[in-house]
Structure 1
Amino acid sequence: MSRPKLLAVASGGGHWTQLLRMRRAFDDFDVSYVSTFEGHVDNLGGARLYIVPDASRFDVKPFGKIFWRALKVMVKERPKVIVTTGSAPMLAFMLLGRMMGVHTLWIDSIANTQKLSSSGRMARKFVNTCVSQWPEVAQKEDVAYWGQVL
């Protein structure tokens, strides 16, 4: 019996570091990764890695390319679950995933100590589960708190 597919998505830097710290939770899945940085392939032990352009609310031009790439990855991988530790480029995966009936989990970055990130505030409107890594933020923003990814 094959393992269900999980798509783990995050941009580089702290988002990526937090995502990799959760890898043991993915042990029962066939995992593929998405990042904005090709250099991350060395950390994955042979797992599939897809690259998308980086983008932000200050640079929205790449979102068209990101959405198109996300659609291609989603059709190829057919994940049952998508997990992200946030960042704007990964919104495309979460939105497409939700539209395709995939369970979506947004874990807002631990750097957001006072409120959800702007991407997290958007994502919580359509993902299955949105989590803050700070109990005060979770209560204030009416999202889940499961602890911190340290």
Structure 2
Amino acid sequence: MTNICFISSSGGHLQELASLRDLAKIFPSFLITERDQFNNITFGDKVYHVSQINRREKFFLIHFIKLFFSIFFIFIKERPSCIITTGALVSFPACILGKLFGAKIIYIESFARIYSPSLTGKLVYKIADVFIVQWKPLLKFYPSAIYMGGIF
């Protein structure tokens, strides 16, 4: 049975991902996003909140490992068959773990990325089953990506 994991950081990435919420009405699904004071977007059958991290913070590695294990335990429970993400940092460990769990990875590069790739995009591009860009200039960085225009 298909169980879709929608995952993204909070803010604009989550707003982009929420434009795909109609899929969550068709397939069993769950959402993983960061916990923050402004986050009121939810969809899917279940919503999981993980801690927000920043790669420039002092204890980033410790927080990243904690995030990795938080997502691991969610995946043990939910067993996603597909992961759909718009990034950013929170999605990288999910994509790695998803591959280990045998899930298909669909990555959608952020709408804000017109002329240069994101760090998460560069990392996930190597493992994504489907990589989508919303702007044609990004095809120069992601030659096997699919250009689909904006998802808004």
Same fold (TM over 0.5): yes
Runs of 4+ residues deviating >6 angstroms: none
Query: 1:80 offset after TM fit, Å?
Result: 1.0
Structure 2 counterpart SS, 1:120? helix
Matched residue pairs, number?
Answer: 148
Partner SS, residue 88 of structure 1: coil
1:42 offset after TM fit, Å? 5.1
Return the TM-score normalized by structure 1: 0.89
Single out whichever of 121-130 and 31-40 deviates more from structure 2.
31-40
Aligned: 1:72 with 2:70: no
State how 1:1-150 maps to structure 2 within 5 Å.
4-37=2-35, 43-44=41-42, 47-59=45-57, 60-61=60-61, 62-142=63-143, 143-150=145-152
Amino acid across the alignment from 2:30:
S
RMSD of equivalent CA atoms: 2.0
Per-residue CA distance 1:81-120 (angstroms, 9 max, x = gap)? 1100110111011111012110111111101111220110
SS of aligned partner of 1:33 = strand
Contact 1:106 1:130 in 2 (8 A): yes
TM-score, scaled relative to structure 2: 0.87
Whole-Å Cα distance in 1 between the matches of residues 136 and 43 of structure 2?
A: 33
Q: Structure 1 residues 45, 136: CA separation in 2 closer, same or farther (over 3 Å shift)?
A: closer
Task: Give the SS at the match of 1:27.
Answer: helix
Q: Residue type matched to 2:126 in 1?
A: K
The runs of 5 or more residues in structure 2 that have no matched partner are: none
Deviations 1:49-73 (A, max 9, x none): 1111222332323110110001001
Change (3 A) 1:85 1:19: same
Deviation, 1:45, is 5.6
Percent identity, aligned pairs only, is 24
Cα deviations by residue, 1:104-149 (Å, 9 ceiling, x for unpaired): 1111110111122011000111121221111121244212212211
